Amino acid sequence: MSESESENTARQSIDDEPSDHNVRIDEFTKVYRSGGEDVVAVENLNIDVRRGEFLVFVGPSGCGKTTTLRTVAGLEEATEGRIWIEGNDVTGKDPRERGIAMVFQNYALYPHMTVRENMSFPLRIRNYPDDKVDSRVEEAASLLSIDDLLERKPSELSGGQQQRVALGRAIVREPSVFLMDEPLSNLDAKLRVQMRTELNEIHKRVGKTTIYVTHDQAEAMTLGDRVVVLNDGKLQQIGPPQHLYDNPTNQFVAGFIGEPPMNFVPVDLRETANGYEAHADGLFTIDLPEQHVRAVDEWDGPLHSVTLGIRPEDLHDAESDGQRHGGTFEAFVKVVEPMGSDKFLTLTPPDGGIEFTARVVPNSNAAEDATISLSPNVDKIHLFDDDTGQNVTSK
């Protein structure tokens, strides 16, 4: 089995020794009772978390990511399945028995305590000796560059500083696993970007397994060694961020990962002397590249029930950047959004209909209420089965 194939399976087929994995989510299902009906929050989730990796759960609201994290923490009970940490079945154990530390969205700092007292609190309630408490607090404070804040109260700190204190309180416990539930969501946009970088650096220095939940796909892509995409309580795909971006297993992942999102256009596939062409009424006819022809030949779905996907950056302004990959077609420009490093164009077929987006070079001459000649990079298109949503051309 190839690396890409193994990343797409629900239970990861891993050849490493068991010691290389310190968290296992095993056939986990969570069902809530609501209004007299059963609501399935997570269904049959199987994931092995590699020791020391930064694993990010991402998906829309209600997809089950926080429920999964809380169950690993022991704050929720599994309806079915088991949770294993360091080879031990912790399914029925209290959070304090699991060897985990959790960082919440709201930081949960004690307002009447100083930073030092907040960070040392988890150790003092476990009766650690004073010298060990002081050593761990000062070491964590140095790691997080908050040495000079130890005698301040939380009300005297910025949002970013409070977040570092919350991280420090988790670090001093020296847990086996860090669990983070949208810890950056209360920060402004600029500080979130800064804290993403700092979290990456801290993770590399601490070296502990981290499971992180976010609804922000940019956070998922920049932080995760691997990313878990959930929707409606079901695992859609798991793998390295770039693999998910380049080879989404289905249309949901393709549309969720990436900003602006992938464009989707209904097409008919028509056989030609050399393979197949994708025909979109009133917009384009594209000859499929050889690797796509092979994929379609191996697929047993109807040729008239297909959606073509292409990312905005793979639609080029044929006049401005000189790239012509697979012929050209005309589109009507509704909106031009200059972004500095590039321009986002909102487009429609000349006769109207669906909207789609192109991400073109900043010197593009595209103008609103005018037509533009676009050249698609045909090697980067995807074809999705309308009946199943699966990517026919995934590698």
Q: Where are the domains of the chain?
A: 3-99+175-256, 263-385
Question: How confident is the prediction along the chain (395 residues), in pLDDT tens digits per residue?
Answer: 344 444 444 344 333 444 588 999 999 999 998 888 999 999 999 999 999 999 999 999 999 999 999 999 999 999 999 999 999 999 999 999 999 999 988 878 999 999 999 999 999 999 999 999 999 999 999 999 899 999 999 999 998 899 899 999 999 999 999 999 998 888 888 888 888 988 999 999 999 999 999 999 999 999 999 999 999 999 999 999 999 999 999 999 999 999 999 999 999 999 999 899 999 988 999 999 999 999 999 998 888 889 999 999 999 999 876 665 667 899 999 999 999 999 999 999 998 889 999 999 999 999 999 999 999 999 999 999 999 999 999 87
Asked whether the domain spanning 263-385 has the same topology as the one spanning 3-99+175-256, the reply is no
Give φ, ψ of 230 to 5 degrees.
Answer: -115, 150
Distances (CA, A) of 209 to 53, 174, 175, 296, 354: 5, 11, 9, 40, 44
Cα 125 from chain centroid (whole Å): 36
Residues 3-99+175-256, CATH architecture = 3-Layer(aba) Sandwich (3.40)
Question: Hey, what are 379's tokens?
Answer: 């090697």
Pairing of strands 54-58, 226-231: parallel
213 strand-pairing partners: 57, 181
| Strand stretches in 115-215, DSSP E | 177-181, 209-214
Helices (H), 217-258: 217-223, 241-246, 251-256
CA 249 to chain centre: 14
Residue 323 DSSP one-character state: -
pLDDT at 138: 95
Pairing of strands 329-338, 343-348: antiparallel
329 near 277, Cβ under 8 Å? no
Question: What is the separation, in whole angstroms, between the first and last Cα of the chain?
Answer: 12
Q: How far is CA 262 from CA 117, 317, 389, in A?
A: 48, 17, 14
Which amino acid is it at 138? E
The C-alpha atoms of residue 47 and residue 71 are separated, in whole angstroms, by 13
User: Can you give the pLDDT at residue 222?
Assistant: 94
Query: What are 54's strand-pairing partners?
Result: 210
**What distance in Å separates the CA atoms of residue 244 and residue 242, rounded to the nearest whole number?**
5
Pick the CATH number of 263-385 from 1.10.3080.10, 3.30.420.40, 2.40.50.140, 2.70.160.11: 2.40.50.140
Distance CA 167, CA 180 (A): 9
Task: Tell me which DSSP letter residue 390 carries.
Answer: B
pLDDT of residue 4: 42
Yes or no: say if 52 and 218 are a contact pair by the CB < 8 Å rule: no
- Identify which of 74, 57, 53 has the alpha carbon closest to the alpha carbon of residue 66: 57
The residue to which tokens 């999964």 are assigned: 68
Give me the residues paired with residue 29 across strands. Answer: 80
CA distance 144 to 235: 34
Joined together, the tokens standing for residue 304 give 């008239």
Q: What is the pLDDT of residue 2?
A: 43
Tally of CB atoms within 10 A around 20: 13
pLDDT (0 to 100) of residue 6? 41
Token code pair at residue 393: 């051309």
**Cα separation, 347 vs 331, whole angstroms:** 6
Contact (Cβ atoms closer than 8 angstroms) between residue 188 and residue 180: no
Give 227's contacts (C-beta < 8 A, 6+ positions apart). Answer: 55, 56, 58, 220, 221, 238, 239, 240, 241, 244, 257
CB neighbour class for 177 (10 Å; exposed up to 12, middle 13-18, buried from 19): buried
**Burial of residue 211 (number of CB atoms within 10 Å: 0-12, 13-18, 19+):** buried
